[in-house]
């Protein structure tokens, strides 16, 4: 009696289970959504920046609405414009994804969580104790510094000058005012200051601030190197960390971290409120 191979029911044969990550482009959906949200944040920041101008927010919002109306009006007459709009939006999303470091399946929330985790994992070195200090006596290094208003203002001008020189060393034409304030806040100084207060202080010290200055694809208030040199009446003074090393075969790579603000800035007086 010859045996015959058993027939298998095709319905009972189960292939490999298809998961969502196996489907092409599905992993990029979170990236597209997250990059779109980041792009909308940029638009919102641009609109909020108009609050510092007289009616600037309404002007910018109206300009955005008029631009949208014109785009839809012409798209109704020429349907091919929708393809152009789609391609333009895709280019913007890809640009935002590349600039913010997004990758397949990794959203902006993942990057923010990773940044917080990295900051928490950095070990904090304990301060060395000095056995020679007497009880109740404070060392000169830990003594609270003090500066007059003139010294604080001079330190503030020097900090802006060094920050602009640092930006020029890295191929930029200046620095945004919110970046200056963020660097000051990193040193736990002027914690109650806002970015408009910093701009008013610059104005009181004759430091020119442009209303819109493009740096790395972002337009915001900033100090331009040409305007600052014109106001100072001389070229910028280069901080010590930016002076090139003339040693043979020395690396010419510029420092990564921007100059730290002097301690005298902590005694800077707040600017007067606008009338």
Closest Cα partner for 169 from 222, 244, 97?
A: 244
Distance CA(111)–CA(92), nearest Å, equals: 19
Residue 213 main-chain phi, psi, to 5 deg: -140, 120
Residue 133 has pLDDT above 50, yes or no: no
**221's tokens:** 């208030």
Residue 151 has pLDDT above 80, yes or no: yes
Average pLDDT, the chain: 75
**pLDDT at residue 182 in the model:** 95
Q: For the residues of 84-145, what is the DSSP string, one character each?
A: HHHHHHHHHHHHHHHHHT-BTTB-HHHHHHHHHHHHHHSPPPPPPP-TTPPTT---TTTSPP
- Write the CB contacts of 104 (distance below 8 Å, at least 6 apart in sequence): 27, 28, 31
**pLDDT at residue 78 in the model:** 77
Does the pTM exceed 0.75? no
Q: How many residues does the chain have?
A: 275
**pLDDT at residue 58 in the model:** 76
CB 202 within 8 A of CB 160: yes
Lowest mean pLDDT among 57-66, 116-125, 139-148, 169-178: 116-125
Distance CA(245)–CA(61), nearest Å, equals: 50
Please, where are the H alpha helices in 122-256?
149-169, 177-186, 195-204, 225-232
Distance CA(238)–CA(229), nearest Å, equals: 12
Residue 94 has pLDDT above 80, yes or no: no
Distance (Å) of CA 185 to CA 192, 220, 271: 9, 19, 17
The pLDDT of 130-145, averaged and rounded, is 49
Q: Would you call 176 helix, strand, or coil by DSSP? A: strand
Percent of the chain residues past pLDDT 90, beyond the cut: 32
Residue 83 has pLDDT above 70, yes or no: yes
**34's tokens:** 């997250």
């Amino acid at each position: 009696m010859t045996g015959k191979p058993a027939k298998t029911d095709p319905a009972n044969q189960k292939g490999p289970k298809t998961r969502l990550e196996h489907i092409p482009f599905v992993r990029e959906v979170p990236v597209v959504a997250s990059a779109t949200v980041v792009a909308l944040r940029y638009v919102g920041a641009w609109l909020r920046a108009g609050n510092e101008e007289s009616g600037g927010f309404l002007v910018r919002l109206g300009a955005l609405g008029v631009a949208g109306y014109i785009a839809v009006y012409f798209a109704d007459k020429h349907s091919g414009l929708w393809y152009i709009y789609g391609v333009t939006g895709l280019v913007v999303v890809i640009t935002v994804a590349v600039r913010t470091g997004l990758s397949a399946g990794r959203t902006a929330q993942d990057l923010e969580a990773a940044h917080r985790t990295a900051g928490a994992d950095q070990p904090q070195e304990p301060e060395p104790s000095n056995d020679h200090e007497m009880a109740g006596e404070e060392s000169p290094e830990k003594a609270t510094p003090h500066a007059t208003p003139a010294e604080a203002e001079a330190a503030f001008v020097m900090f802006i000058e060094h920050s602009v020189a640092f930006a020029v060393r890295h191929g930029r034409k200046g620095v945004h005012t919110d970046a200056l304030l963020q660097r000051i806040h990193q040193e736990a100084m002027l914690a109650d200051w806002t970015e408009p207060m910093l701009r008013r202080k610059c104005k009181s010290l004759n430091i020119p601030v442009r209303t819109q200055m493009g740096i790395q694809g972002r337009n915001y208030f900033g100090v331009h190197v040409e305007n600052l040199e014109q106001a100072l009446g001389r070229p910028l003074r280069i901080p010590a960390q930016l002076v090139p090393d003339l040693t043979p075969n020395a690396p010419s790579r510029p420092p990564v971290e921007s100059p730290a603000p002097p301690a005298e800035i902590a005694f800077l007086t707040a600017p007067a409120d606008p009338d």
